[in-house]
Amino acid sequence: MMVCEYKPGLEGIPAAESSVSDVDGQKGILEYRGIRIEELAQKSTFLETAYLLIWGQLPTSEELQAFEHEVRFHRRIKYRIRDMMKCFPESGHPMDALQASAAALGLFYSRRDLHNPAYIRDAVVRLLATIPTMVAAFQLMRKGNDPVRPRDDLDYSANFLYMLNEKEPDPLAARIFDVCLILHAEHTMNASTFSARVTASTLTDPYAVVASAVGTLGGPLHGGANEEVIQMLEEIGSVGNVRPYLEDCLQRKAKIMGFGHRVYKVKDPRATILQDLAQQLFAKFGSDKYYDIAVEMERVVEEKLAHKGIYPNVDFYSGLVYAKLGIPTDLFTPIFAIARVAGWLAHWKEQLAENRIFRPTQVYNGQHEIAYTAIEER
């Protein structure tokens, strides 16, 4: 067996062959199944994009209608899962609640018929349909309210915002939220997708695959950064305080949340689109100081870190959009998960076709031939 050189974090090591998406980190290009993210953000919907990612091509009108109907039909969660969620502590982080609930789906549906296309489609539909409902349900429960039923007359994003806020959303807000889901749906071999593929490679059920990926996404170096960005903007508090704040970060060699990327060495194309979405929301619903602070941060970080290829990533402006949509900060990462389920499922299907368990090697740097020492001699 040929052993490659060890690279911490597997930096630059291909972990799979995939046709789901591609990133050019030098040019700032992201494509889903070969289509540029800017086109999908402008012309597609999240469910159409999910179909593209998972089945590899854009659906016909009939295929899309059938898919949307199946997802709409499966939005409700079993009362036993709802009862289980009622036992979760209100102080628990919604990402932990989501991970537990996603895994619980496996208790009801994981017949593991992995070579049956009908089982695969059923799992895809159930996960895309119920994850938003579980996020919204936990949010209402922890406020002491009963979850609201999904509304069949609302499309995917409008229904989620309705279940979350208990009122029908503004059409522009629902469209902007749907674009955010498109932007967060997939991103080649990021940490949570790698998690999903490793878990999928053992031929476990898709619910365990998604639960494993949710757990990975929650970390502040990955999907959890968007929550930290808003807290950082609040801590900075004014445009005038941006430079001293950043200089202190750099002095402490602290990572600035929402900046930097393992692949992009220019501004993340998703950040550019999210910045525009934030401006649209501010134009309609009124601006606030955080946008100005964010723009000043981007300017000063570029001045100080552009030479290292450190620019805004997807998490930098997404928090501003979600905050303007009235979404609580600790739901930012669960919303990232709602979108990324599409990418994880696309990679799950690809890994099933690969049919080879992940089992990398290691560089052993321990000792050999150590004698066992009796406890009385230690």
CA distance 47 to 124: 11
Smaller CB distance to ligand SDX: residue 120 or 277?
277
Smaller CB distance to ligand SDX: residue 159 or 333?
333
Sheet containing strand 21-24, strands side by side = 21-24, 29-32, 35-36
Per annotation, catalytic residue among 205, 261, 268, 347: 261
Per annotation, catalytic residue among 315, 330, 347, 368: 315
Amino acid type, 245: Y
CA distance 218 to 241: 29
CA distance 312 to 169: 29
In DSSP terms, 35 is beta-bridged to 32
Rounded to 5 degrees, φ, ψ at 135 are -65, -45
| Binding to ligand SDX, residues 296-335 (CB under 6 A) | 308, 310, 313-315
Q: Look at residue 132 and give its three-state secondary structure.
A: helix
CA distance 294 to 315: 12
Binding ligand SDX (rule: CB under 6 A), the pick from 33, 126, 187, 267 is: 187
Binding ligand SDX (rule: CB under 6 A), the pick from 66, 107, 203, 221 is: 221
Query: What does the per-residue mask of binding to ligand SDX show for 255-294, with x meaning CB under 6 A?
Result: xxxxxxxx--------------------------------
Smaller CB distance to ligand SDX: residue 67 or 332?
332
Closest CA to 209 of 223, 192, 190: 192
Q: Which residue is nearest to ligand SDX (CB)?
A: 260
Is 268 a known active-site residue? no
Smaller CB distance to ligand SDX: residue 223 or 334?
223
Binding ligand SDX (rule: CB under 6 A), the pick from 112, 151, 175, 222 is: 222
CA distance 297 to 273: 17
Is 315 a known active-site residue? yes
Shortest Å distance, C-beta 313 to ligand SDX: 4
Smaller CB distance to ligand SDX: residue 157 or 313?
313
CA distance 187 to 217: 12
Shortest Å distance, C-beta 341 to ligand SDX: 13
225 contacts ligand SDX (rule: CB under 6 A): yes
Binding ligand SDX (rule: CB under 6 A), the pick from 190, 201, 216, 318 is: 190
Six token digits for residue 133: 């409902």
CA distance 85 to 82: 5
Q: Any idea which residues carry the catalytic annotation?
A: 261, 315
Interface ranges with ligand SDX (CB under 6 A)? 187, 190, 221-223, 225, 255-262, 308, 310, 313-315
